[in-house]
Every structure is written in structure tokens, then in C-alpha cells.
Structure 1
Amino acid sequence: MNDKRFNSILLLAIAATLIALLLQQYLPQKRLTLLPSNTPSYFFHAGPGEDGSPAAFWVDERKLHWRCTPPRDNTTPYFPCSFNLLLTNDGLRGTDLSGYSYLNVKLRVIGKSRKIRFAMRNFNPAYSTPEDANSGKFISVNIPVGDLQGETRIELSEFKVADWWLDQLNIPRIHAQPERSNITTLGIDYTESMEPGNYDMIIEKIEFVGEWVSAETWYLAILTAWLLGIFSYAIIHLIRLREQSRHDVQVINTLNQYTTELRRETDKFRRLSTVDPLTQAYNRFGIDQIVSTMIALNERESGAGTNPDFALILIDIDHFKRINDRRGHDTGDRVLQAVATIIAKAIGRKDYLGRWGGEEFIVLLPNKRKEFAIAMAEKIRLSIDGTLFEPDNPLAVTASFGVSDRLPGEEFNDTFKRADIALYQAKAQGRNCSVMASDRLDDH
């Protein structure tokens, strides 16, 4: 194989690998939609109501609207009242959910309940029997009603085995972990003591979502393909080693130099594509990449994102157009550079500074809340206000600040918008101040 052909194949393989790596995130997801469905199989489990009939019943079955009405004389700490989907035909052979990653639900809860429990039963002959419905492993997760706004994603890793079930059946440690290989039922119920009244629930969507090919399997396949290619290449060259040893050494040296240069050029262009050349802060594209990485890392490490991904500070230089108009764009550029330097010195080594556009900067504080961010904003604001710009022709510069942090499951655009609204409020309050954003867009 000549050098030209080898290099062409290598470049083609690199290109194919890059495409395969990018393609992974666009692979179709597998979905198991339970509701809405034309042929659902479900039942209620509830204690007796006021008239002795079950306390759970349909208000409008077509709209999947059901109600639980506990009796006024109920004194039990837990009144059974649940809606259950059957995922089995015979009670033994259920549905394998081990290949799914999360549960998508969309429901409306009307009543005083603060939490809703989602629970599954897994049938395993090692500890389950057909005669005892309670012998199926009980795995569940409690979700605050406030989190069930719109379509909600519940990671299956959040489901835990109930301690009462382990104790009741005296389950050995080897079987104490969650299982999803043979799920027979999925239930939704109320987890707290229920006062008299109506507790309504309207179920709009229940579906399990997973990957046809996991990221690990996909990357392992790419790695295996490369290993097989390298192995085949090595075998061929071992056969020709005696005749082509000197030529092979030259090829290896050339390839090593080429790979190093390619890596160097790749690093160079990666930096050029993510850094603002004037201030040396990240540009908007670079910030977008950092945000995507932080959100993905948070979801991987903390499931539904109970810890804050980051806090966000939006900074706008006050009356910057006036600076450009009166002093010229060269002065404006120097002011931008000086402000960027002040911000960079104030934030931590693990924080990120970006130029969002024009005279607007953005700071990302990983794993920080907005209370920390507002203090940081004030620190930066005072530093800017106390700096003498353009000493030969002194210029007073101030900036306004809007602060927010990412709420669980919130899109970055909404986090940014709340900070942007807070920034406009700071402008409206006279500039040179910091405003903390509300947790709700409609509160502004």
C-alpha cells in the first residue's frame, strides 16, 4: 500500500470516526408509550370511601381524569389510593425496562397533596411468587407536585427499593438493589396523609425513553473498529517487515509528525472558534459549549438536577455608546479590554468569562447559587466603579448587573432571559447596581 493510498484511507477513517462520534447524539430514541393509548390496561387500588365503595374512581375516563376521595373519618397515616398500569398479561412475564433511561410524564394534580409517588413492581422468581402480589420488588420515587409542571423527565436511576418491602419479605442483600428487567405494574399514588376532600389527577402522557444503542456501546464499537483496523494493518506489515522495514520506519515517523501537527492545528482552530480576539474572553459559541457541558455533567452526576448547574451574571457597561461617540472606538476597545481584565481577576479559576456581544459580558459560576453570584456581582461592580480608566484623559466607567441561577430542568435560554430581565431592572433603577432575578419569568 503506497503512502498516498494509506493517507487517503487514514483521513477517510478519521472523517468517518468524527462523523460517527457526532452522529451518536442524533440516533433515534426508543420509546414505550403507555398513555395515551387506545388499549390501556389499568386498575385502581384504594380504600373504601364514604359510602363503602372504592375511594378512587373515574371522573372522565376518556380524558384519563380520576379522583380520590378519602372518607372524613380516615385516621390512617397512609390511605391507599393509586392508579396502576398493568405491564403484564399473566402476572409473571412483565416488561423489560432495563434498556430505558428515564420516564416522561405529563399530568395535572388538583388537590392539597404535596408529593406524588411513582412506583414499579418487578417480578423475579428468586423472591416473587404468583400467589403474593406484594412479593414483586417495590421500587419507587417521590416527586414534589411543584416539579410536575408540563412534561417532566424522571430518571429511572432515581427509583429506589422501599425499605419496608425489604424488611417485610426479609430480602437478602444480593437482591436488595433496584431491578427493571421484568416490570409488571407502574403505579401513581399519593404518599402523604390525606385530609378529607377531592384529589384529582389528569394523566396526559406516560412513556419510557431510552437509547437503541447506548453511548458506551457506540463508542466501544468505534474503538473496536479502530483496533481491528490497526490490528489488520499490523499483520500486513509484519508479513512485509523484512522487505520494507526501512520504508515502514519512514512512514511511521511521517504519520507521527502528521498526527502531531493535525492535533496542534486542531487546538489552534478550536481556540480561535471559541475566544473573542479583543478581550480574550470566551465568545458566545464558546459559552454555549461550556453551558452544554455543565448541564450534561449535572444530569449525569445528580439525576434530575437537584444541585445547581451554575449561577449566571450578565454585565452591561453603562452608556457605552456615549464612550464610543465621544472618545472613539479605540477608547471603547480599551475600555472593553480593561473591564474584561477586571472581571477575570475577580472570578475564580474554575469560573468562566465570556463576551456575549458589544459591551455585554457573561460570567458562569459552576455549582454556585444566585446568592453567591449577587455577592460576586457586587464585588465586580465596585472594582469597575473604583477603577480609573484612560489615566491620561480620565474616564469614569460603571456597569449594571443581572443575576440568576439555573433552576432544575430549566433551559439555558430561560435562565439567561431571567438574568437579562434583572439587568434591565438594574438599568431602570439608575444603572451601576446589581439585581437578582426572580425564579419565575412571569414574576417580572
Structure 2
Amino acid sequence: MNGSIAVIADDLSGASSTGAEFARCGLSTVLVQDSDAVRAQGNAAQVLIFDTESRYDTPPRAREKVSDAARALQRLGPAFIVKKFDSLLRGPFGHEIDAIMSACAQERCVVLCASPKMGRITVGGYQLVDGLPLAERMRMVDPGAPVASSYVPDRLREQTARPVHCLDARVIAGGAAALAAFFDAVGHGIVVADSATQADLNAVVAAAHGAGVRFFAGTYGLGEALRPYAGGARSASAVLVVAGSTSDMTRKQVARLEAAIDARSVVLELGPAFFEQSCEAFGAPYIERLRGGGDLLLHTSGSHEASDRVRQLAAKAGWDEPMLAARIEALLQFLVTPFLPRCNAFVFSGGATAQSIFRLLGADGLTIYGHEVLPGTPVATVRGGAYDRRPFLTKPGSFGTSDDLVTMVNFARFALT
């Protein structure tokens, strides 16, 4: 497994969910529970997960287990080490992080406790669960568990003598430059990072990776953030999402999707230049922003006011509605065409948008199946042509819930596996 990822998890359920995050992008992922299995399976796996079943052990016993696991995995030469722990911070996770740092000679660890898709976020160092501080929520979900502090740095300082640093949301909001400056300035020890969205997790991991950090600890969502840096990930496969509707619901769905997935996201701003330049000239900067790995998300500015401005500019240019629609369709086709060969699934909001891209696929039609991803969104695959049998999901833009596009993208990924 030289060059890939070693994961140490504290229970079977969490080990499996983290493994699924890596397996989705084509990495061979194996879960084991003893050192003999590490030796037997390690060379065949790009991601090897060692489940120590240590969540409810005493701190000394948990330290012993994870140290043994870390040493066994370290012999395989992984590019990264990941500690998976409980998003409710149950178990001696700080002791385990400390033990792994010692066993693997790691001077730095970035801790990401947030799992935004599961309603867990970290704000100002405090762990919130469905909007409530962790200690308060624990009284509801697990009354028998000891009620500990919701402040993650204090939890860690109780379990390790290493320095604990806080990376708060204001630095993350400052973008890549601010994050790079933070990691350049911080010394050895443990960094606890705020995160409220998957995009936050992705940004922190990207900056830490750039700064040379190779030990990360966290919960569900961390695997998705690490996938771009895993050797052998299936970068050629992507889900193409195009949202052409300007409805309020579509705007909410796009915002939710941007927070949930790692995608190249581009907003089409159809200002005066759109009416003055050729599709090629206007679209070239968007093409550059779409380049790279990951899923592709292309959408309009998504407000009624913006739509009204576009129509006013069209009228000023002497374009009627059919001319405007044809020009937008030509732009979408120009932007999407270079990336179609690596797109293995297609998701659309808005029927006209779906039709614009469908014309590019050279298909005979669609195969419609007898069930729906969502009400009004049938399961379908492309029939014939170069994209035969690839998922093609389209929904009306005017209704649904804010999670609909996330549901459709997740279904498309599942269908591909």
C-alpha cells in the first residue's frame, strides 16, 4: 500500500463508513482487525483500515492497541495516517491521537471533529450536534454517558501534554492564503479546526496537506476531504451537475450541494460581455475554472433579479426569447463538451438544461426504470452511444427539498458502483 492511506478506527461501524468515502472514488479499501491481517492484506489495498475496537477501553489499553496498530501500518509506508473517532467524542480519542503521534514519529496532527452531513459542526472550538452544544445533546442521545465539555481543545488537553492550537472559522473564511499563513506560523502539536461545511473540511485539509501535514484525525467527512490526495483515486470519473433553473428552490439545492460535495463549481454570470463576445471567448475563463479532478457543478447566478437583467440586456441587443435561449444552450454545450469524456453520470435541474446536454451525448434515447430517486425524478440511463448505460437524472427546477441535488448525486455515485 506504499503511497496510500492507513486508517485507525475505534469501532467497526465508523471504520466502515470512512472506508466507503475512499471506496467511492475507486480506491481498493480493506478493513482488518489484527496485525496478522495487516501483513496479509496490506499490499493489496490502497486504503487499509485497522479497527482497534478501543472506544470503550481504558486510556492505557486504548493507547496500547492503537500504538500496535500504528506500528503495523507504518511498516507499509502509507502517505497518510488517519485516526477515525466518534463524532460525539466518546472514547479516549485524545489518548489515541497522542499514542499514534509517538508511534509514527508525527510532530503535527490536524483534528477535524465536524461531520456536517451528520449535523455535527465545530465553531470556535466547540462541538455542536444538530445546533446544540455536545454536552447538552449527549444528555438526550446517551444519558448514561458522562457529560463532558463541548470545548474540543480542553478535551484534548486533558489527554495529551502536546500543544493544542485552534484554527477558527475566521481564518478559514480568509481563503487559501490565510490558511497557508496559519500553518506556516503554527509549530508542532495538535491543531483543532473549526468546520461548518464539507467545503470547510476540504479547505483545511488542502492547506494542511500543502504545509506537509500527514496525520489527520476526524470523523465522517474527513475521508472525502482526503480523497484528492490519495494515490490511485479514480480522477477520471466525475458526476456532471448542471442547474439551469432560476427558482428559489434550485438556489437552495445548489447551495446545499456546494456544501456537501467536493466539486469544481462555476456560476455563470451573464453580463454585457455575454452579448458582445462569441461563446468561445466568453466561455474560455469558465473552462479554465472547471479544469481539474472531482465532480463538476455548473449553474446560473440563480436569482430572479439576475434573470431580469439578462432579459433586459437581451432586449437591448435585439434578441428575442428564442435567440436568448439558443445562445445560453450553445454556451452550456461549449462549456461541458471538453469534460464529457470523464463524466460517468449526469444530474440536471430543469428540463431545458437536461435537453441541451442530452443532445451532445449521441444517444438513441434513455432507458427509464420502474422506480424514482425522488418524486418526479425517475431512474434513467443513457441508451446507445459513447455514454451508454450511464445514469441520467433530471428533475424539475421548481419544487422539491433543499437536499434533492445531494440525493441525486449520491444515487448516481451508487449506481456507478
Instruction: Give the TM-score normalised by structure 1.
Output: 0.24
Bigger Rg, structure 1 or 2:
1
